[in-house]
Amino acid sequence: MKRRIAGTMISGIIAAALLVGCGSSSSLQGNTNTTESSISADAGETDISAAADNSSEADEKTMTAGTTVKIAFSGDKITWQQAVIDQFEKDTGYKVEINLIPSNQDQYSKIMMLMTSPETCPDVIAEDGFMVKTDAAAGRLWALDDALADWEDMNQYDPSILEGGKGEDGKMYGLMTSTDTQILYYNKNLLKAIGIDDVDNWQPKTWDEILEVAKKLKEANSDKEDFIPLWVWASTVYPEETSMRTFQLFLSGTGEEGAWPSQLYDEDSAKWVIDKEDDLAVLNFIDDIFNKSQVAETPAQASDASIWDTLKSENIKNDGVGLFISGSWEMAAYQDGNQYPWPEAEDVIGYASLPTKDGQAPGMTTVSGGWTWAIPSNANNKEGGVALLKAICGFEGSKARALYNGETAPRKDVAETEEYQNQSPSAVPYSSTQLGYTHFRPSVDGYSSITTSFSQMIEDVAFGTSSPEDALNTLQAEMIRQFGENKVEVK
């Protein structure tokens, strides 16, 4: 059944979700496969004359430099971007050069390296929302305010949505392009087979209930080779997925309502936090599902750089996965015209939220974030970069991305389209109901370095190389090494 979402509701929901920005994953970019190529989508008319006239000599040069526009983002192949860039090239005469960073590589580090030199710097980059403040403060991003001041399309963005792309100085350094939530997906057929009757509305109330269901799934499907009762991200091969969709997601379900993000970062004292009770609750659960009950994927599966495509194209479609936790865009892969068309997907796959650990209020939890498009300070062709940014963030570009990736669109006009409201299969309608209890990653300096330590901690416990206590002690030592003892609070 197709469900409609009112455009005004979507606008309000995204406004809250994008205040901080998020998550990480190549899916957020739209899986993209070439290293250098031209792309395009019917982005409508692009007015390059609206680019800002910066007063500095360097910007005067780069605002008019060349007919090539360079863009860098992560993915395994170019998808929705192709039509947008083809039309952009046709409308403007620019040639677009794409630097596609494989999704199993660290996009942030790769783009950071490119941005250090004007000779290698892209003109447009995909910037994870949590990095905007840090990169802007370090002078790596170019302020967009003047360049976009006369662009009529800015009226399609709620002012609060635009906050997600602003730096500490209040200037806009990135234009928001997406948001998401994390969902506990489940196979209705497999749950029904183990005695759960109302599979259309299943919602576990505690972590223990998830564990018990996973154990039953394991026993009932013991004859299936490579069957995965419960998939959670647990490898440094997927650093931000493991940090955000496992460690931070589960951590947000510990403690009392309203505690987040104090279990991780105390905004009042500006200190990173080791909350031993809550951290160990997460790590002990990871230890249980991987090593004691063995209901999660194997370490080899968790660290396979191509596993997610295999799971989506084969295992999930063929009753090979019982439960899996991932982003709200995942079902878009099964829509007609996308990677793995599966019209019956919603007859098989159901949506739930991760419950709080013991069912304490509000009962369910999720984490959200968003991506932006930004222009680096070292960009050689800022005028072309502004023009391309307008194209990919314009009506057609934004709609193409939202429909392909199954994301919540930040533009009001896109959220009101019939195609967006009636897309199927899609978890977007369910995702919109989660944002009342969602949480956001700390958008503070240092996050980009410590987040890899979170994923390392989860991997060490999941792969059995460290006990929960030892892994947490290692994280504590690493926090102190990175930030200093006076910037780390141990509870």
The string of pLDDT tens digits covering residues 377-408 is 999 999 999 999 999 999 999 999 988 888 88
pLDDT of residue 42: 33
Q: What is the pTM of this model?
A: 0.74
Give 35's pLDDT tier (boundaries 50, 70, 90): very low
Question: Which strands make up the sheet holding 182-187, listed edge to edge?
Answer: 228-231, 321-327, 182-187, 349-352
Instruction: Name the strand (E) or helix (H) holding 207.
Output: helix 207-220
Angle between helix 81-92 and helix 395-405 axes, rounded to 10 deg: 170
Give the rounded percent of residues in the chain with a pLDDT score beyond 70.
86
Q: What is the mean pLDDT of residues 79-96?
A: 96
Residue 74: CA count within 13 A, CB half-sphere: 23
> CA 183 to CA 205: how far, in whole Å?
14
Residue type for position 379: A
Q: Tell which CATH architecture fits domain 7-180+370-440.
A: 3-Layer(aba) Sandwich (3.40)
In the chain, which residues fall in CATH 3.40.190.10?
7-180+370-440, 182-368
Phi-psi region of 341 (alpha: psi -120 to 50; beta: other; left: phi over 0): beta
The pairing of strands 182-187 and 349-352 is: antiparallel
Q: Which of 75, 74, 92, 88 is nearest to 38 (CA)?
A: 88
How high is the mean pLDDT of the chain?
86
Phi-psi region of 424 (alpha: psi -120 to 50; beta: other; left: phi over 0): beta
The pairing of strands 321-327 and 349-352 is: unpaired
The CATH superfamily assigned to 182-368 is: Periplasmic binding protein-like II (3.40.190.10)
The pairing of strands 371-374 and 124-128 is: antiparallel
pLDDT of residue 33: 33
User: With contact defined as beta carbons under 8 Å apart, do 52 and 386 qualify?
Assistant: yes
Q: What is the pLDDT of residues 224-280, one digit of tens each?
A: 999 999 999 999 999 999 999 999 999 999 989 888 989 999 988 999 999 999 999
pLDDT of residue 17: 44
